[in-house]
């Protein structure tokens, strides 16, 4: 019998694959049979994830890269394509957070958020679409956020950037539907990643458990999401079973968008 949600021998590129959601995405795609190329600026964690996947008999290749550098991104896309012969999946996962309103967000903050959260997605789409067209099509997943579609306090720059990711999704889906390229966005709410642990440690020393519980309860379901839960949604949207889905936004938020209003 055919294995559902199989990604056997599909070639994927994932950004920000060295930890958190990106790490889980790489591992789940590899478990489903994909050949995973992933980019990260963190060399140590990238090498660790590559080793973890290979030890489980998965196929993964880490590329050390600053995704804000357009030409470097292009070189890695080209070398990955030459190595694996196609590009079937692109997951634009890499991103950084920022806390602040319009008054206390500096020009440097805005430039940094733009470079990582918007320009890098453009670069990956710019090169990725070209290689997908050569491959006969594919699936693109953009990691947006609940902040893409709802106002969150003190998230001015971050919301701006994720709103851009959200709308880029629709442009790609519209422009390349005849090339058999599907493009969808995922909108997580709070997910328990190393970033959350670091944020609590730095801002609430001695009160980490208390604040973790408080943040967890902002989701109606009563807890934060797990990176693997986001990754399994990515895997589904990249599979042939999702071939009728494009130009859509999928909140994965424990009821945050609909049950908090």
Q: What positions carry a catalytic annotation?
A: 158
What DSSP state is assigned to residue 241? G
How many residues are present in the chain? 261
For residues 88 and 245, what is the distance between their CA atoms, to the nearest angstrom? Answer: 15
Q: Taking CA 138 as the corner, what is the angle to CA 16 and CA 59, rounded to the nearest 5 degrees? A: 50
Could you tell me the end-to-end alpha-carbon distance of the chain, in angstroms, rounded to an integer? 44
Instruction: Quote the tokens at residue 228.
Output: 């693997």
For residues 67 and 50, what is the distance between their CA atoms, to the nearest angstrom? Answer: 18
Please compute Rg for the chain using Cα positions: 18
Distances (CA, A) of 91 to 51, 140, 169, 200, 242: 20, 6, 12, 28, 15
For residues 181 and 173, what is the distance between their CA atoms, to the nearest angstrom? Answer: 7
For residues 246 and 73, what is the distance between their CA atoms, to the nearest angstrom? Answer: 25
């Amino acid at each position: 019998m055919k294995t559902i949600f199989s990604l056997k021998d599909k070639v994927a590129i994932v950004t920000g694959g060295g930890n958190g959601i990106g790490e889980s995405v790489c591992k789940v795609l590899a478990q489903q049979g994909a050949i995973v190329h992933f980019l990260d600026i963190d060399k140590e964690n990238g090498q660790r994830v590559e080793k973890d996947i290979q030890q489980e008999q998965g196929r993964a290749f880490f590329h050390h890269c600053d995704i804000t550098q357009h030409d470097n991104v292009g070189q890695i896309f080209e070398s990955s394509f030459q190595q694996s012969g196609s590009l079937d999946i692109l997951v634009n996962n890499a991103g950084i957070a920022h806390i602040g309103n319009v008054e206390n967000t500096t020009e440097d903050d805005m430039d940094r958020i733009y470079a990582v959260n918007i320009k890098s997605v453009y670069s990956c789409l710019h090169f990725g679409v070209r290689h997908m067209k050569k491959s006969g099509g594919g699936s693109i997943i953009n990691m947006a956020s609940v902040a893409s579609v709802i106002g969150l306090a003190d998230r001015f720059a971050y919301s701006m950037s994720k709103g851009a990711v959200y709308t880029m999704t629709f442009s790609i889906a519209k422009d390349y539907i005849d090339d058999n390229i599907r493009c969808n966005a995922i909108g997580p709410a709070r997910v328990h990643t190393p970033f959350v642990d670091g944020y609590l440690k730095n801002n609430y020393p001695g009160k980490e458990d208390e604040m973790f519980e408080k943040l967890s309860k902002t989701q109606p379901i009563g807890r934060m999401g797990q990176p693997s839960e986001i990754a399994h949604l990515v895997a589904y949207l990249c599979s042939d079973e999702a071939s009728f889905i494009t130009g859509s936004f999928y909140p994965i938020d424990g009821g945050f968008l609909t049950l908090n209003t």
